[in-house]
Amino acid sequence: MAKLPLLLVSALCACGVLVSSARGSIMMSIFDDGTNLTMTATGTYDLSGVAPVASFESDFNSAFVTPYFFGGLYGWSVGNNVLSYQVSFSASFTAGGALSTPPPTSLSTNTPFYFQYLSAGALSGPVIRFAQGTPNIGSVNETAFFANTTLADIGMVAGETVTVSWAGDSATIQTIGVPEPSTVLLAAAGVVALAVARCKLG
């Protein structure tokens, strides 16, 4: 068996160190297929590097899910008392005021959580909120499906990404929309034209 070049071995070792020391990361997507909206969040999180900055007693008794946008509120609400952890947002989504959001047609949750931007009170700024008793290190696997709902219906636009970060960890929230039919047709026409040109040259 041939020996790997020393430089390649060093690079692989470095990657191994990076992977082994890397903490969790949440990927949240709000996907608009032109008719329906699907919001998902998968991945792991690590809160061991931060301490809760506040607790919040919920004023409702059951968990519910909605793709929030309200001055920086995204996620799955938690129907019991929650702990807030300070985070930072890289940007905010382009959107108007919060619009009425219908309840989801179907949902599944593993560890409901949400990001919120607090603009009043003793605690201000963005936070991530988990139910009290949630482990400091864990995973999320959340899905909400909204029939006959689009990003426009909740005051958001496609193609934006916001990074949320806190001590030693991060999350990414992105809005995704399918291409307009005209864009798809234009791309298809380009592929056909390229194939025809190749046939003529060949």
pLDDT tens-place string over residues 82-108: 888 999 988 878 765 455 567 788 888
d(CA 141, CA 148): 23
Pairing between strand 25-32 and 169-177? parallel
In a domain, 96, yes or no: yes
Highest mean pLDDT among 6-10, 83-87, 180-184: 83-87
Residue 61, in any domain of the structure: yes
Are the C-beta atoms of 158 and 176 separated by less than 8 Å? yes
What is the total count of domains within the chain? 1
Domain with 37, as residue range(s), is 23-180
d(CA 21, CA 10): 17
Lowest-confidence region among 57-71, 79-93, 117-131: 57-71
112 pLDDT above the threshold of 80: yes
For residue 51, give every residue at least 6 positions away whose Cβ sits within 8 Å of its Cβ, in sequence order, or none.
85
Instruction: Check whether 157 has a pLDDT greater than 60.
Output: yes
Question: What is the pLDDT, as a whole number, of residue 192?
Answer: 53
Name which residue leads in pLDDT, 68 or 7.
Answer: 68
Q: Is residue 126 in a domain?
A: yes
Residue 130 lies in a domain: yes
Interatomic CA distance for residues 176 and 174, integer angstroms: 6
Q: How would you class 96 by CB atoms within 10 Å of its CB: exposed for 0-12, middle for 13-18, buried for 19 or more?
A: exposed
- Of the listed ranges 28-32, 130-134, 144-148, 196-200, the least confidently predicted one is 196-200
Q: What residue type is assigned to position 100 of the chain?
A: S
45-54, 70-79, 122-131, 142-151: which has the minimum mean pLDDT? 70-79
Residue 85 lies in a domain: yes
172 falls within a domain: yes
* Stretch 59-85: mean pLDDT: 65
Grade residue 141 by pLDDT with cuts at 50, 70 and 90. very high
Q: For 123-140, what is each residue's pLDDT tens digit?
A: 678 888 888 888 999 999
Average pLDDT, the chain: 73
Residue 24 pLDDT exceeds 50: yes
Cβ-contact 28, 40 below 8 angstroms: yes
- Please report the beta strands in the chain, taking only residues with DSSP state E, as ranges in sequence order: 25-32, 37-46, 54-56, 74-75, 82-86, 88-89, 106-108, 113-118, 125-131, 137-146, 160-166, 169-177
Whether the predicted model's global pTM rises above the 0.75 cut:
no
Q: Is residue 187 part of a domain?
A: no
Is residue 84 within 8 Å of 47, Cβ to Cβ? no
Structure tokens at 95: 């959107």
**Res. 32: pLDDT tops 70:** yes
Does some domain include residue 29?
yes
Statement: residue 5 has pLDDT above 50: no
